[in-house]
Structure 1
Amino acid sequence: MMFFCCSFMGAVAQADCLNTENLLKLDAQYETALQVGSVQFLDKLLAPEFYWVHNLASLQETKAQLLMRIKKPEAQAHQRRSHDVSAHRLGNTVVLQGLSSVDKLNPDGKTLRTSRYQFMRTYVEQQGECKLLAVQTMKVWSSEGN
C-alpha cells in the first residue's frame, strides 16, 4: 500500500493535480495514509505550513505534530473513508468538503466505534504538485454517544 501511495503522488504531480478526479483519488490516499500511519506519504503531501483544526478546536496540529501523532498505534484507525465529497476551486486552490467516517477500536480492543466528521480540506498547487495546506474537522455523529 505504501508503494501505491507514493507512486500515485508522482502521477498526480505530472497531471493537473487539482483536476477533481485526480484530487479525489489523492484525497482518498490521504485518508489511507492517516489510517496506516504513512509518515513518508504525508510528509510529501502536506505543505510545510499545514495546519489541522480538530473538533471544536479540541486539538490543533501542525505538520510536525501530525507526523509524530500518526506514528503511535493508538492513533491509527481501523478504517477511514470519505463520502459525499464536493470540490470548490478558485485559481490554484481547491477546497474539498464532505463527510469522513472513521472506525477505531474501543479501549477493550475488541469492539469498534464509528465517528462521522464534516471536513474541509484545502489543497493548493505548487510547481505542479498538490499540497494539503489545511484541514478542519467537526464531529457530527458517533456510535459512542458523544
Structure 2
Amino acid sequence: MKPLLAALGWALSLSAAAAPCLPSADLIARDRQYEEALRVGDVAFLDRWLADDYVWVHNLASQTEGKAAVLERSKKPAVVHKSRTTSDVHAHAGGDTVVLRGLSTVEQWNADGKTWRSNRYQFMRTYINVGGQCKLLSVQTMKVWSSPSSG
C-alpha cells in the first residue's frame, strides 16, 4: 500500500508543478493590473510581477526592454496615459506556462490636454510559474491601429 501512496503522491506533485500559475480568468484580471501599473508607473507591482529575465519586444522590434529598463522608466513616466485597456484576450496554456493574446488600447492626451489619440496593439504575454508564483516572462506588442485625435 505504501508504494502505491508514494506513487500517487509523486504523480500529484508532478501535476501540481505543471499547473498554470493562476486560473485563466484570474490571470487575465491580473494582466489588466499590469496594464494599469504601466500606465501609472507602479514600480512595486511591476517589480513583483515581472520575472527576473523579463523582456518586452516593442512594435517591429523598434525597442527591446528588460525588467531593469521598464522599472527605471516607470519611476518617472514621461507621460501618464489617459487609459490602457485590454480586449479580446485569450489564454493558451501548456504545462505551467500561459500565453495571453489580445488587444491593448492606449489612449494618450494630446498637448491641449482636452483631446486624445488612441493606439491599439496586438499583444502576446507569456506567464510562467516560478516557485509557485506567477511571473510575466515576456511581452511582444505590434501596433495594429491608430486614431486621429478624439475628445
Give TM-score, length-normalised by structure 1.
0.83
- Partner residue, 2:28: 24
Matched, 1:133 2:137: yes
The structure number with the bigger radius of gyration is: 2
3-state SS, counterpart of residue 110 of structure 1: coil
Identity in percent: 57
Q: Equivalent of 1:43, from 41, 47, 71?
A: 47
- Partner residue, 2:123: 119
Q: Equivalent of 1:80, from 80, 84, 107?
A: 84
How many pairs align? 130
Give TM-score, length-normalised by structure 2.
0.81
Pairwise CA RMSD: 1.5
Find runs of 4+ consecutive structure 1 residues off by over 3 angstroms: 107-110
Distance 2:74 2:80 in 1: 6
**More displaced 10-residue stretch of structure 1: 101-110 or 77-86:** 101-110
Deviations 1:20-74 (A, max 9, x none): 0110111011011111110000000000000000000111100000111122332
Q: Which consecutive unaligned segments of at least 5 residues does structure 2 have?
A: 1-19
